[in-house]
Every structure is written in structure tokens, then in C-alpha cells.
Amino acid sequence: MNKEKFLIAVCIVIVASALILRLVNKSNDSIDNSYNEEAYSDVEKTIVPPVFDEIETESATSSEVIIFSPAPDVVVSSPLTVSGQARGNWFFEANLSVKLIDDQENLILAHFATAVSDWMTADYVPFIGELVFQTTATQGFLVIAKDNPSGLPEYDAAIRIPVRFK
């Protein structure tokens, strides 16, 4: 019975997130997705403007990924919900690579976030994921990486969001 309640709760969270992301996506269709105060003035205050720190690539820009949660430099704990939007070509089989690393570049967790709508598009696709982790580190990064089935480094792209651990 507890499993059923848990699954129902997870489904409700996913559906609610999808609806919120769809509303945000519609409001962002007619604006430049790079951050400026006016572009986000009518978006809920809980949504964080995109923050991007490119990793060895020029292709991870604000036109590729928007992170809603977690906000940069916030204190996070397990379980950590990750949400945002990425262009469809960042996904593979509706999944997006998500990693937590500490400030010494040690891997804490490698996992994924899942597309909430059709991911086979060049448009933005909302995603959500939950990371369950343990660490003794005090600082680190959430890394969201583009799928690169070719393995060629010129097609690698990722963003890093600085976080602090509880």
C-alpha cells in the first residue's frame, strides 16, 4: 500500500512539473532565452534564470539548456530534485546525463533526468530527475551533459551549476 501511495505521489509531482514547465515554455516561446530581468518578469519567482558554466565547449549556451532547480550556490541535500529544459538533441532515449561531483572533481553520483514530454524535437524539452546521494564534501557541481553517441570530443557539451552540500 505504501508503494502505491509513493507511486501516486511521484506521478502527481511529474504531471504537475510537466504542466508548470509547459506554461513556462509557452511564455518563453516569444522571447530570447538568455537571462535578462524583463524576460523573466512574469515567470514565477521560484524559477531560477539560466546559469551556465561551459565545460571545454562553446556549444553549451543559454540557447541549449535552462535549469530551474537547483539554483546556483544553494545548499542541497539528498534527495535532490533537478528540473529544467534542454533542447531535444541533448537527450538519448528520453534521458539526460546528470552528475554530482565535488569541488575536487571526484564523482559523487552519475544518474539521469527524464524528459517529461516528447524528446525527439529540436525544441525545448522539460526534464526532471531525482538524485539520491551521500557525500562528505561541502561544495561541488551539478553537471548536466549532452548525449554524445559519437564519442567525438567536438560534440561534447555540458553545463555546471555550483552547489553546496548539507
Q: Residue 51's pLDDT is what?
A: 40
Q: Model's pTM, two decimal places?
A: 0.62
Q: Residue 7's pLDDT is what?
A: 59
Domain count, the chain: 1
Asked whether the beta carbons of 128 and 114 are under 8 A apart, the reply is yes
Cα gap 24→112, rounded to integer Å = 22
Contacts of 147 (CB under 8 A, 6+ apart): 89, 90, 91, 92, 95, 96, 97
Q: Residue 2's pLDDT is what?
A: 73
Question: Residue 126, class by beta-carbon neighbours within 10 Å (0-12 exposed, 13-18 middle, 19+ buried)?
Answer: buried
Q: Which residue has the higher pLDDT, 43 or 148?
A: 148
Q: Residue 55's pLDDT is what?
A: 36
Domain that holds residue 112: 2-165
pLDDT digits over 64-120, tens only?
Answer: 999 999 999 999 999 999 999 999 999 999 999 999 999 999 999 999 999 999 999
CATH number at residue 61: 2.60.40.10
Q: What is the CA radius of gyration of the chain?
A: 16
Cα gap 4→151, rounded to integer Å = 40
pLDDT digits over 24-79, tens only?
Answer: 555 444 434 433 344 433 433 333 333 433 333 332 335 799 999 999 999 999 99
Cell of 131: 538524485
